[in-house]
């Protein structure tokens, strides 16, 4: 057993702050790394020590040298950046530093979609018809078309490396084949330096369900129930819930069993998520991929189980004996991702300075920003997560709605108006939405001329107040009202 005294979080923003919170409760020193944009970010200020990254968050050499120089015991990767890079994990292991996550061997087997499909086949986990392509750039135009005809339209084309909805395209028509391949290959090369692809049959009205697995230090894996993540835009989730309602008992049981079976098959340890597509009409599920890391939506599992998953990750990494067979699921939890983007259905990113930032009270908010924070567009545009828990889903929706109505962000656009409208949507409330519902059926909010004028006035007022505060300090807030 190895005690962790000093922990480096190789990430930023809300996830760095969330990991620091648990680590500090465990009396562990926290080390932050940052780029120029984040020099005065909240997570940097909350760390015990912080170091500037000369080449960014993907600079493995600097991070490993820093661990040696500062006698850092462990690295938590958060999500994104190096969190699913098996080569980095192997280097961490060789350096004698504890990696809070799976082993490099398990990550290598499950981190790439091609090898994950092979492991799923071997473990007897259901898969959609599809194919794994080691080098997508080697396919001719004729081979591309022949491949999708064999699988059957529509198909989804995905980079084998990475996750989070990046480097993906859905092909509905044969004429779109080459354009989609070129787009995904280009993005896969840019993001992952890897042009391996997975091509699968696409279920038009499928739900996205997933199982949180947690493997202890003995590599005994447990299913910590399920989540529904069907509310998505651009292949990325915006609302996540636990548990996933509407699953027949036998389907839920087999879903959990398949997740544990696959995790045990690859010798998995620590936190991971098995993702599936669920066909409600046929009551069938199919394995999509495994995320070999903590998920953005781990919060809803924490709310219904009462577990601190980051704490459990650290205990497992230290070698403690843990067992999760008796964990129960209570109530219903929903998380809304607050993103810096327009709510009009274009989902265009919004950049600039946050002039006003007021979080709702009485609910969980994991955030990485404050008033004065600048959103540059360089990183993922999620700025916060609002998480609620209630006795049932209907009560949780009402609680989330009230929280979002009390969440004020001025200076940039956010998706709060869109999320509020989705919470009122009849199909969403009846669990009839699916992964492409927002693109296919949902009508996003549109501001009336009067509402747009009011919004412009508020933003102008905040800008003037901000400029006056910089010039005159506290005098800018002086008011003689009532005198």
* Residues acting as catalytic residues: 293
User: In angstroms, what CA-CA distances link 354 with 339, 406, 464?
Assistant: 13, 16, 13
Provide the H-helix boundaries in 161-284.
177-192, 249-265
Comparing CA positions, the residue from 303, 117, 281 lying closest to residue 198 is 117
Q: Tell me the chain's radius of gyration from C-alpha atoms.
A: 23
* 236-242 and 332-339 strand pairing: antiparallel
**What is the CA angle 86-90-95, rounded to 5?**
150
Give the sheet arrangement for strand 364-367, strand by strand: 284-291, 270-279, 207-215, 221-233, 236-242, 332-339, 382-390, 364-367
Backbone angles phi, psi at 75, to 5 degrees: -125, 130
**Nearest to 263, CA basis, from 199, 220, 317:** 220
Q: Residue 31 in contact with residue 47, Cβ under 8 Å?
A: yes
Cα gap 483→469, rounded to integer Å: 22
């Amino acid at each position: 057993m190895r005690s962790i005294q000093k922990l480096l979080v190789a990430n930023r923003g809300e996830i760095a702050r969330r990991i620091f919170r648990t680590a500090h409760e465990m009396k562990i020193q926290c080390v932050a790394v940052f780029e120029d944009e984040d020099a005065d970010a909240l997570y940097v200020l909350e760390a015990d020590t912080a170091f500037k990254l000369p080449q960014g968050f993907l600079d493995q050499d600097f991070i490993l040298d820093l661990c040696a120089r500062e006698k850092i015991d462990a690295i938590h990767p958060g999500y994104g950046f190096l969190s699913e890079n098996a080569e980095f994990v192997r280097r961490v292991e060789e350096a004698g530093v504890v990696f809070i996550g799976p082993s490099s061997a398990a990550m290598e087997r499950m981190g790439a979609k091609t090898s994950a499909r092979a492991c799923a086949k071997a473990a007897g986990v259901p898969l959609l018809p599809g194919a794994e392509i080691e080098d997508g750039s080697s396919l001719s135009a004729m081979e591309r078309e022949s491949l999708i005809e064999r699988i059957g339209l529509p198909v989804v084309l995905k980079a084998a490396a990475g996750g989070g909805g990046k480097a993906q395209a859905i092909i509905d028509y044969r004429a779109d084949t080459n354009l989609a391949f070129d787009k995904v290959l280009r993005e896969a090369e840019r993001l992952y330096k890897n042009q391996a692809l997975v091509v699968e049959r696409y279920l038009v009205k499928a739900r996205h369900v997933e199982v949180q697995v947690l493997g202890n230090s003995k590599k005994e894996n447990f299913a910590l129930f399920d989540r529904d993540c069907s509310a998505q835009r651009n292949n990325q989730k915006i609302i996540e819930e636990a548990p996933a309602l509407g699953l027949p008992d036998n389907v839920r049981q087999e879903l959990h069993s398949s997740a544990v079976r696959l995790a045990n098959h690859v010798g998995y340890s620590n936190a991971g998520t098995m993702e599936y597509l669920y066909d409600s009409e046929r009551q069938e599920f199919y394995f999509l991929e495994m995320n070999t890391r903590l998920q953005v939506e781990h919060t809803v599992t924490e709310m219904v189980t009462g577990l601190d998953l980051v704490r459990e990750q650290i205990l497992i990494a230290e070698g403690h004996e843990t067992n999760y067979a008796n964990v129960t699921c209570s109530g219903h939890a929903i998380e809304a991702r607050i993103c810096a983007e327009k709510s009009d259905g274009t989902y265009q990113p919004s950049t600039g300075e946050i002039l006003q930032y007021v979080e709702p009270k009485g609910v969980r908010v994991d955030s990485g920003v404050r008033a004065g924070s600048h959103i540059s567009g360089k990183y993922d545009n999620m700025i916060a997560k609002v998480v609620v828990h209630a006795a049932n889903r209907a009560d949780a929706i009402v609680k989330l709605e009230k929280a979002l109505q009390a969440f004020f962000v001025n200076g940039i656009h956010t998706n709060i108006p869109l999320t509020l409208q989705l919470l009122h949507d009849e199909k969403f409330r009846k669990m009839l939405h699916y992964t492409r519902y927002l693109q296919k059926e949902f009508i996003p909010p549109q501001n009336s001329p009067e509402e747009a004028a009011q919004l412009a006035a508020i933003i102008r007022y905040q800008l003037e107040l901000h400029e006056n505060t910089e010039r005159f300090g506290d005098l800018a807030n002086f008011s003689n009202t009532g005198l």
